[in-house]
Structure 1
Amino acid sequence: MHATIPVTVLSGSLGAGKTTLLNHLLRTADERDLAVLVNDMGKVNVDAELVAEGSDLDVENGVAELSNGCICCELTDDLETAVVRLAREREFDHLIVESSGISEPEPVAKLFTTASRVAARYEIDALVTVLDTRLFLDAFAGDEVPERTGETDDSSTDGETRPLSDLLIEQLETAHVVLLNKTDLCDPDELTEATALVQALQPSAETIETEFSAVDPDSVLDTDLFDSGQLAELAGWKRALDESDDDQSDHHHGGDGHHDDGHAHRHPDERYGIDSFVFRNRRPFHPERLVSFYRELPTEVVRSKGTAWVAGRDVKVGLSQAGQSVRATVRGPWIASLPAVDQELYRANRPGLEWHDDHGDRQTELVFIGTEFDEERLRNRLTDCLVDDGEWEHADALENPFPTEAGEAVVVREP
């Protein structure tokens, strides 16, 4: 037995093969004693029954069941209670937490990594995501994907349906292991494309092709892949931004508000035509032109994310695009918009912060990842979206659909 119990957090869209994987692991885990927490959005937890049916465990004694909600939000307290009770009442070697098909794995992982009674008993081993490979390709190709019942935005208060590409991105970009499942339904070229997309979106992931979720248990259990400090850094967009920061360390900012971004880019895997680039600028976007840019974004761009400076909005506008879905949120205020005393405090605590004499920390930093796109054309279009001097002077009078308050989200484009 470990001093602390290792935990695998399992995620994937509805129907991807998570329960099939659980059954497979319960049958093939050899000498490991596994405990499983399963979560289903329905009133009856079918997943728990299926897991028990395909293993030597039963729902009463082997599977702690959570239902009628999402593990990572409504049932966080129940999850904490359940895992502590499991550790107190039973002896086992490894815990698997299967989140529902509409859940994001990162909040679940944080429960086990923050200072709490849970973290004292458990340690995260790996975050594992199961992808329905055919559905994954369709979602990022802009093809119509059948709606899945219950796939709603967990943060939504009005039951808003959340695009499948958004869910897949959240589950993929934090994964240490990605199972490209149902490969028997894809041809070799499609598998090559899927592998390339996974590596571009999450370069650190170990990618395994599977049929019926059949995988060597050692590939997903006791892997020691988790690093509590690396959750946010796993994603391809974050890595591209960090690498671009290094490349741009010697560049200077002009006094006219423009930032020479040096055409910073990287090549995640040229063999598959996957590439990315970072667009930086210290002149704000015209809001309507920026919306038009994202609504006309070519399907070759499968992922973009970052912070935009939008004229008329003195807050950091977070932009997140996955496939045909684009959303804007507020990521907080610019430090330069705060009172002078607060600015000094923030700057003292962030010695590496780039600071412009006129604009402070206000700047756009957007990462674009895709397959064989025309980078120069996209850069030129983004530059055309910037305000001219006259528009900048009257920015507050511009029509502006972007959010202004923390927690507010705006759908810029939907499938």
Structure 2
Amino acid sequence: MSAEPITSAVSPAVDRRPAVTVLSGFSAGAVQAAARALLIADDSLIAVRHDLTGLRHGLIGRTVETAAIVLEHTAVDLAHGCVSCTLREDALPTLARLARERPDGDLLLVLPPVVEPEAVASACAHCTIDGTPVTDTVRFDSYVTVVDADSFLDDLSSPDNLRDRGMHAADDDHRAVAEVVAHQVEFSDTVIIWSRPGTDVLELDRLDTLVHHLAPWAVRVPTGTAPSLDCTALAARVRRTGRHDPQRPGVLGLALEGRPIAVHDTDGGHSVTSIVFDTRRPFHPQRLHDALEEVTEHALRGRGQFWIASQPDTAVAFEFAGGGVSAGSLGYWLAALPTGRWAEASDDRRIAADLDWDPYYGDRRTVLALIGLDLDHEAITALLNSCLLTDAELADGFDAWRALPDPFAGCFPPADDDVIAEETRE
């Protein structure tokens, strides 16, 4: 007599935390219209939004509502008037409170136009409510950015700062409009392309292509040009998708972890082009500095990482938006650190470095992306190549490189020189 083996199936635990959809976008009207559509599609959905008009004076307004009723409309005093304080002291605690009070309903966090979604993710990583991480109470399901077809390209190409438009969140907020717009799209996992019945279809196609180049990892959801919007269909493509990856780094850290930072498409549709420049050789600091304005002259957006021969221990973040170039430290290359400190890096970064390790350069590499309209791929690539060390300069070695004229000197100060591996100086 035989018998079937006895097996036991263990069902995966059901995640009962309310799901939070984070909705951002620079066009307040388009964001509010998208939020209204999502509320209409689900009468149990609760939206939380903040008015930052008085933020610089430590005062904000908070509104909590469903499609049918305003549940709360409250003025909130903050100890410090800043975006991060608003998130830590009010927005995230409000989400946690609502999740406890209404555990059967999902939540929609509607961000003001100047708030970047990455700030929410960063706050979540460090925020506790009554000693409990906020992510124990709610699940951040998706980061959705709304792009307004009527204004997005103008904002992305604008030289304005937020202060020029009276939108700065603090006295020391010097961000460019284009920088905020780009960051909102790039951090999203879903982009709603908001359009209207009169929107030109060809312009919509070009915008869709541009958004794809800016955020190839995001799902694009067009609203179309019909006279009415199917709110239920929109909600089905946007909410409870599980698209948010809490481990995904910010866009400037993608290349360090072996992730693509853009699509290389030099002949894109609707004149949209993007160039990905990837090399192991270091830049000559003076030649790179002198060429940056010409490199970025016709781009809408630039991003990535690079290294310069005079500072070979430092991975440098590169950004361009709104006519301004910025660069900052991403920390040390692993090759510049004792192996005992490699554990401080993420698993993905160590794996990426191991898979692509160079016997001479280690994990040092430049990966830059430029995105725009009708960019001249050959000219830009040739210009960047001319900024790299020549064979003769390369043969001089690390010690000689450090003595090169460096207009970036002091811009990326190391945190602790004493831990840098001596082998990088040999």
Scaled to the shorter chain, the TM-score interval is 0.7 to 0.9
Paired residues, what number? Answer: 378
Aligned equivalent of 1:216: 231
Any conservation in 2 of the 1:129–1:178 contact (CA below 8 Å)?
A: yes
Letter in 2 for 1:121: T
Tell me, in whole angstroms, the C-alpha distance in 2 between the residues paired with 1:378 and 1:110: 34
Provide Cα deviations, 1:229-281, integer angstroms capped at 9, x if missing partner: 5644999x869x7469xxxxxxxxxxxxxxxxxxx973398433434333222
**What is the correspondence of 1:6-405 to structure 2 with a 5 Å cutoff?**
6-13=19-26, 15-26=28-39, 28-30=40-42, 32-43=43-54, 48=62, 56-58=68-70, 61-62=71-72, 69=81, 72-109=84-121, 116-141=132-157, 147-151=164-168, 159-183=172-196, 186-203=199-216, 204-209=218-223, 216-220=231-235, 222-229=239-246, 231-232=248-249, 242=259, 266-267=264-265, 270-297=268-295, 300-313=298-311, 314-339=313-338, 341-342=340-341, 350=351, 352-388=354-390, 389=392, 393=400, 395-401=402-408, 403-405=411-413
**Could you say if the C-alpha distance between residues 339 and 175 of structure 1 is closer, same or farther in structure 2, counting changes exceeding 3 Å?**
closer
Unaligned runs of 5+ in 1: 245-263, 408-415
Tell me, in whole angstroms, the C-alpha distance in 2 between the residues paired with 1:316 and 1:283: 13
Any conservation in 2 of the 1:37–1:64 contact (CA below 8 Å)?
A: no
Aligned equivalent of 1:413: none
Any conservation in 2 of the 1:311–1:396 contact (CA below 8 Å)?
A: no
C-alpha displacement at 1:183, in angstroms? 4.0
Tell me, in whole angstroms, the C-alpha distance in 1 between the residues paired with 2:51 and 2:33: 14
Letter in 2 for 1:289: R
Any conservation in 1 of the 2:48–2:109 contact (CA below 8 Å)?
A: yes
Name the SS of the counterpart of 1:366 in structure 2: strand
Aligned equivalent of 1:257: none
Tell me, in whole angstroms, the C-alpha distance in 1 between the residues paired with 2:389 and 2:381: 15
Q: Which moved more, 1:223-232 or 1:337-346?
A: 337-346
Tell me, in whole angstroms, the C-alpha distance in 1 between the residues paired with 2:150 and 2:333: 41
**Could you say if the C-alpha distance between residues 342 and 4 of structure 1 is closer, same or farther in structure 2, counting changes exceeding 3 Å?**
closer
Any conservation in 1 of the 2:192–2:223 contact (CA below 8 Å)?
A: yes
Letter in 1 for 2:134: V
Letter in 2 for 1:36: A
Provide Cα deviations, 1:368-402, integer angstroms capped at 9, x if missing partner: 33333221211110011123445972543513236
Name the SS of the counterpart of 1:101 in structure 2: coil
C-alpha displacement at 1:135, in angstroms? 2.6
Tell me, in whole angstroms, the C-alpha distance in 2 between the residues paired with 1:84 and 1:275: 43
**Could you say if the C-alpha distance between residues 75 and 210 of structure 1 is closer, same or farther in structure 2, counting changes exceeding 3 Å?**
same
Any conservation in 1 of the 2:61–2:74 contact (CA below 8 Å)?
A: no
Tell me, in whole angstroms, the C-alpha distance in 1 between the residues paired with 2:18 and 2:187: 21
Tell me, in whole angstroms, the C-alpha distance in 2 between the residues paired with 1:282 and 1:2: 44
**Could you say if the C-alpha distance between residues 64 and 164 of structure 1 is closer, same or farther in structure 2, counting changes exceeding 3 Å?**
same
**Could you say if the C-alpha distance between residues 233 and 74 of structure 1 is closer, same or farther in structure 2, counting changes exceeding 3 Å?**
closer
Provide Cα deviations, 1:135-190, integer angstroms capped at 9, x if missing partner: 321133457688332335x8xxx614211111111111122332333546753332
Provide Cα deviations, 1:67-90, integer angstroms capped at 9, x if missing partner: 765554553143332222212223
Letter in 2 for 1:384: S
**Could you say if the C-alpha distance between residues 334 and 47 of structure 1 is closer, same or farther in structure 2, counting changes exceeding 3 Å?**
same
TM-score by length of 2: 0.73
TM-score by length of 1: 0.74
C-alpha displacement at 1:37, in angstroms? 1.6
Identity %: 26
Name the SS of the counterpart of 1:352 in structure 2: helix
**Could you say if the C-alpha distance between residues 356 and 108 of structure 1 is closer, same or farther in structure 2, counting changes exceeding 3 Å?**
same
Any conservation in 1 of the 2:156–2:182 contact (CA below 8 Å)?
A: no
RMSD: 4.2
**Could you say if the C-alpha distance between residues 175 and 215 of structure 1 is closer, same or farther in structure 2, counting changes exceeding 3 Å?**
farther
**Could you say if the C-alpha distance between residues 330 and 148 of structure 1 is closer, same or farther in structure 2, counting changes exceeding 3 Å?**
same
Provide Cα deviations, 1:265-309, integer angstroms capped at 9, x if missing partner: 733984334343332223321223323332123555333221111
**Could you say if the C-alpha distance between residues 46 and 243 of structure 1 is closer, same or farther in structure 2, counting changes exceeding 3 Å?**
closer
Letter in 1 for 2:51: D
C-alpha displacement at 1:29, in angstroms? 2.8
Letter in 2 for 1:194: L
